Chains A and B, each alone.
Chain A
Amino acid sequence: DSGVTQTPKHLITATGQRVTLRCSPRSGDLSVYWYQQSLDQGLQFLIQYYNGEERAKGNILERFSAQQFPDLHSELNLSSLELGDSALYFCASSDGGSNYGYTFGSGTRLTVV
């Protein structure tokens, strides 16, 4: 167990729908990162939050949004889903003050049908 908890592990939904992926960071970590792993794009950085505030944005679609709550858990919201959004979504956390390599969760596998 890495200490980073992602739920659900698997999600199957239809095109046009909206889903929410949840991430609980490792205890004490203030930063949360979201990554998307797809067959055609590889591992891509989506967004980072630090202590509740957005810190950096990557290749995140406008249909996607995220937030980090006061208890530091984070949610990634994906809306108007398309077949191409099918991917493995990873959350990672770090203490935010160093870069010793952050800890990844086990991922949420999203399948859009």
Chain B
Amino acid sequence: AQKVTQAQTEISVVEKEDVTLDCVYETRDTTYYLFWYKQPPSGELVFLIRRNSFDEQNEISGRYSWNFQKSTSSFNFTITASQVVDSAVYFCALTKTSGTYKYIFGTGTRLKVLA
């Protein structure tokens, strides 16, 4: 069975600090996709990144970076120089690469960035 664990329920940081959100997943599939979504206080789910299981290159997008390590089944998300606007709940999700593309979501990490 597939499972996504986000052990950090809530994290508080002061603005400009770096913060890493952890995501650990379980799957028996040899290929899969991993995602991160952001849910700001307004409630919508905003797509951040997709990672294919055979692509272990880390990715950087502005202040955001992702570290995918297949050996430890982790897909961690780092925000550099955090800002108040980064305050949100962040979800990690896992899905297959074929068939139905239903997502298995983690329980989310609530990030509070304090001014």
Contacts and interface: CB of A to CB of B under 8 A. Distances in A.
* Chain A partners chain B: yes
Contacts of A106: 42-44
Interface in B84-112: 91, 95-97, 99-108
A43 B50 CA distance: 18
Contacts, number: 56
Interface residues of A, number: 26
A99 B97 contact: yes
Interface of A: 2, 31, 33, 35, 42-45, 48, 55-56, 58, 88, 90, 92, 94, 99-107, 109
B4 to A, nearest CB: 10
B100 A42 contact: no
B43 A109 contact: yes
B60 interface: no
A43 B105 contact: yes
Given A42-B108, A58-B102, A99 B44 contact: no
Nearest to A41: B107
A102 B44 contact: no
B102 A56 contact: yes
A40 B101 CA distance: 23
Contacts of A99: 33, 50, 95-97, 101
A87 B57 CA distance: 37
B35 interface: yes
A61 to B, nearest CB: 17
Given A45-B102, A101-B47, A102-B101, 17 more contacts: A31-B101, A35-B103, A42-B105, A44-B105, A45-B103, A45-B104, A48-B101, A48-B102, A55-B100, A56-B99, A94-B101, A99-B95, A101-B33, A101-B35, A101-B49, A104-B44, A104-B46
